[in-house]
Structure 1
Amino acid sequence: MEQKTDYLIIGSGIAGYYALTELLKSNANITMITADHDYPYNRPPLSKEYLRGEKKEKPYFKPPEYYFSLKNVKIMLNTKVESININKKEAMLLNGDIIEFNKALIATGGSPRRLGVSGENLRGVYYLRSLRDADSIKEAMSVSKNPVIIGGGFIGIEAAASMATLGLKPTIIEVMPRIWTTFIGEEVSRHLQTYFESKGVKILTNEKVKEIVGDDKVNAVITEGGKRIDADLVIVAVGIKPNVEIALNSGIDVNNGIIANEYLMTSAKDIYTAGDVANIYDPNLNKRRRIEHWNNAWYCGKLAARNMMGSNEKYNFLSTVWSDIFDIHIEAGGETIDYDNYVLKGNMSTNKFLIVYSKKGIINGYVAFNWDIKELDKLNDMIVKKMSISELPK
């Protein structure tokens, strides 16, 4: 069956949803196709307040009935696009249907990386990416005695904090020497690890998982170092891989994500990309990168939509990220790994501090625990203006 639409959005995550909100201003026909089973929802609560049961309602951006009231919008759930004919501007669906479009956005996000070890498909082993994943894990947590989390990144530590808040005693297994190695420097990472341990979270670093064992259901995780960790619930949180299959099948340039120009257009005319799947040039950090942060997905979704509607705006955004862990609100911006000096304000022991990073004397990033947001806004401006660390207010 052939269908036509003005704007096609592939993906219903943060970037896809906010592209939709922007495109609604055009009064054009919009089709959103998503492999997800649910209408667009907010992902950050899935590892935090929703997982803990503090918010009973599902974190939809809008209730499903809202979309039924939009006469010019069609949302196709549990549907996959196989490829795009970039010359004919036609999307081929896995079910054989074809959708003709004027302009399209690929905002397919990412999928959890698999461990690739024996036992990863046992009952009781979960990946946390979707709303349905969170629902399954919540149910498993309610009867768990020995939860184990493989991976000490964002999802891993947020899930561990949620478990500990509920009285569970999770174990984090991390292959690197410390948690959060891809996000924060060693000083903050060591401090955070000590704080987690004080909350009853056991952290094993420098340990690579060899296998997950159990008859029908998981009962232990075995590391290459020979450790056996009892487990009745395992969350694998070792990062995501960008969902680039549609681009690859369509002849669109891919390299650690879908390559986008400064207007978020791909190598194919009138086809854009945004969110976790997009590889963009960051003018503030002077490098290409793929950014897996909520704020960036929000910004890119709206920017891509405006450019699809005829605007000509370049990407120019300082990506920031936040997390809420126990009683700590964490904010970070810019570069938090590649630095040669830093300034500490506040006191790490009280969990109220700011670390400002610099490289060659220029401020390039920060990490803040429970810090004044107004000061961070000023710091964001200093990073964009590439100001000297010597200009940092005392």
Structure 2
Amino acid sequence: MLNNKTFPKYFQHLAIMVAESFYKRRKISTLNCFVDILNIFPLNYYIIFLINLPPSVQFRFIVPLISLFVRIQHKASINLRFIIILYEFIIMTEKSCQYLIIGSGIAGYNALKELLELKPNSKIIMVTSDRYYPYDRPPLSKYYLRGEMPRDKLFFESDDFYKRDNLEVMLNKSVERIDANLKEAILNDGSVISFDKALISTGGRPRRLNIPGSENALYLRSLDDADRIREAASKGKNALIIGAGFIGVEVASSLTTLGVRTTVVEVMPYIWNTFVDEKVSRVIQQYLESKGINFILNESVKEIQGKIATTSSGRKIEADMFLIAVGISPNVELAQRSGMQVDNGIVVNEYLETNARDIYAAGDIANIFDPREGKRKRIEHWNNAEYTGKLAARNMAGSREAYNFISSIWSDIFDLHIESAGETRNYDEYIIRGRFNSDNPNFNVIYLKGGIVRGYVAINRDYSELEVLNKLIEGSVDVSNKKNSLADKGFDLKELLK
């Protein structure tokens, strides 16, 4: 029998029942009894009830709590069953799934495709802050920007692909927090998705350059960004790009093709400094300059006033449009709010698992240990996002596969097709195959360390040659006894695989 002495203990038991019901994802009918009792007993018992609930569940009772305060203030009786109806409506409309994918970039899309194949009968929900279904981003700085690719060709699938019974894609939504214990994701609109396993593949956003006048500068990350750049290019005659990484150089080549005079300012002594060494960079730079791109190196932009940018040396550069391309910042805020380990991205193990059980990370946001290089790294490459998205999906589906991948990058600039794989900065010798010049480059720079093939940078080379090099890198093949033959264009690299 309930009385004033036994009631607090009753509320503690009730709180446990409610928490268990949440965890098992069923509607909570036990609330009816506690609502009736609240009409008799003081508010402090309701507080006892709240205190005994897990923090992630407590917020669900804010509406009833406010209603109780209103009742006390106005000394009016409120039918709390209305609150229960509202509450049970929230519970009934709560979404649930076996697999939750957060983010719709390359990693998220490939994880989705893999799960649809591996688990065709499982419910999958994808949540993305984008307003479009998944699309390919590399063409944004090249073919799409130049008008050579129609908009609809960017998208991986037709809209009908996403309209299937076991799949829901929530556009224009973001996950604000994940409760790993209850396996619930709380969205920005207050709705909740319960899941069995989740993947965070939210990628990154363009790193901002906080200088006076930069608020009107353009950035490139999304389809909408590309549309804004296209519009600006159609009206402008001169462009200034800050940053000579892949995006900066690719956009510069596209704008030049469109007839926009383009200047690129880079704070480092040579372009693509994080991808290639200086000798390769110089050849590429000279080629690009022959096409009309102007480079200003070892300088930074300090301010933009109207159409004039001022560099660190005091140089004045006039432009109609300004683009900032100084890298990306990983979107780690969700992981931070959810108590996951973050260090230049979300820290994952070899299976792409975070420190939160059944939650994985893939793509640009994942910080993983590279066994070949012997260090942790975060890789911002398309094929790495594709690989880790699929790998995470397989492991979420029950596999136990460790990360084992040689990440590569590529770019198409004017008549150059550039590919690079492996380690191209940490080497003790290199060998050049082909024609190493800026007039008509066609070469492959092979990097060795201790006689072992570690990486390469190739321009306009046959893919069959690159396939062999990828296998040599993967197998850590020692080519010491044949390294003098590598530069011979008549030497078949396949001989090294025997």
Band the TM-score falls in, shorter-chain normalisation: over 0.9
Are the counterparts in 2 of residues 284 and 317 from structure 1 also a CA contact under 8 Å?
A: no
Matches within 5 A, 1:94-113: 94-113=188-207
| Partner Cα distance (1:65, 1:148) in 2 | 41
Q: Aligned-pair RMSD on alpha carbons?
A: 1.1
Moved over 6 A (4+): none
Residue of structure 2 equivalent to 1:139: 231
Measured in 2, the distance between the counterparts of 1:64 and 1:20 equals 15
The equivalences for 1:1-394 within 5 A come to 1=90, 2-25=94-117, 26-27=119-120, 28-58=122-152, 59-68=154-163, 70-122=164-216, 125-214=217-306, 219-349=307-437, 350-390=440-480, 391-392=482-483, 393=486, 394=488
Per-residue Cα deviation, 1:341-370 (whole angstroms, up to 9, x for no partner): 110111122210000012233211100000
Distance 1:269 1:372 in 2: 44
Take 2:316 and 2:177, find their aligned partners in 1: how far apart are those partners? Answer: 44
Aligned AA for 2:197? Answer: K
Is the CA contact (8 Å cut-off) linking 1:41 and 1:60 kept in structure 2?
A: yes
Q: Distance in 1 between matches of 2:313 and 2:349?
A: 45
Does the C-alpha gap of structure 1 residues 263 and 199 become closer, same or farther in structure 2, counting only changes over 3 Å?
same
Alpha carbons 2:237, 2:259 under 8 Å: kept: no
- TM value normalised by structure 1: 0.96
SS of structure 2 residue aligned to 1:8? strand
Query: Is the CA contact (8 Å cut-off) linking 2:270 and 2:281 kept in structure 1?
Result: yes
How far apart in 2 are the matches of 1:252 and 1:16? 19
- Does structure 2 retain, via aligned residues, the 8 Å contact 1:319–1:334? yes
Shift of 1:39: 0.7
Shift of 1:282: 1.3
Q: Which has the higher strand share?
A: 1
Equivalent pair of 1:261/1:281 in contact (CA under 8 Å): yes
1:247 maps to a residue whose letter is A
Residue 380 of structure 1: how far off its partner (Å): 0.8
Distance 2:355 2:95 in 1: 24
Does the aligned pair in 1 maintain the 2:175–2:185 contact within 8 Å?
yes
Distance 1:38 1:57 in 2: 12
Report deviation, 1:283: 1.7
Please report how far the alpha carbon of residue 320 of structure 1 lies from its aligned counterpart in structure 2 after TM superposition. Answer: 1.0
Q: What secondary structure does 2:151 align onto? A: coil
Q: Please tell me whether the aligned partners of residues 284 and 383 of structure 1 are also in contact (alpha carbons under 8 angstroms).
A: no
The number of aligned residues is 387
1:17–1:301 contact (8 Å) kept in structure 2: yes
Deviation sequence 1:213-257 (CA, Å, 0-9, x none):
12xxxx121112101110111111000011111110011111111
Cα offset, 1:43, TM superposition = 0.5
In 1, distance between residues paired with 2:187 and 2:304?
Answer: 36
Could you say which residue in structure 1 is the equivalent of 2:495? Answer: none
Identity within the alignment, %: 55
The CA distance in 2 between the partners of 1:8 and 1:74, in whole Å, is 10
Please state how far the C-alpha of 1:389 moved relative to its aligned partner.
Answer: 4.0
TM-score normalized with structure 2 length: 0.76
Q: Secondary structure at the match of 2:235?
A: coil
SS of aligned partner of 2:214: coil
Runs of 5+ unmatched residues, structure 2: 1-89, 489-498
In the TM superposition, what is the alpha-carbon distance from 1:66 to its structure 2 partner?
2.2
Which one-letter code corresponds to 1:187 in the other structure? K
In structure 1, runs of 5+ residues without a counterpart are none
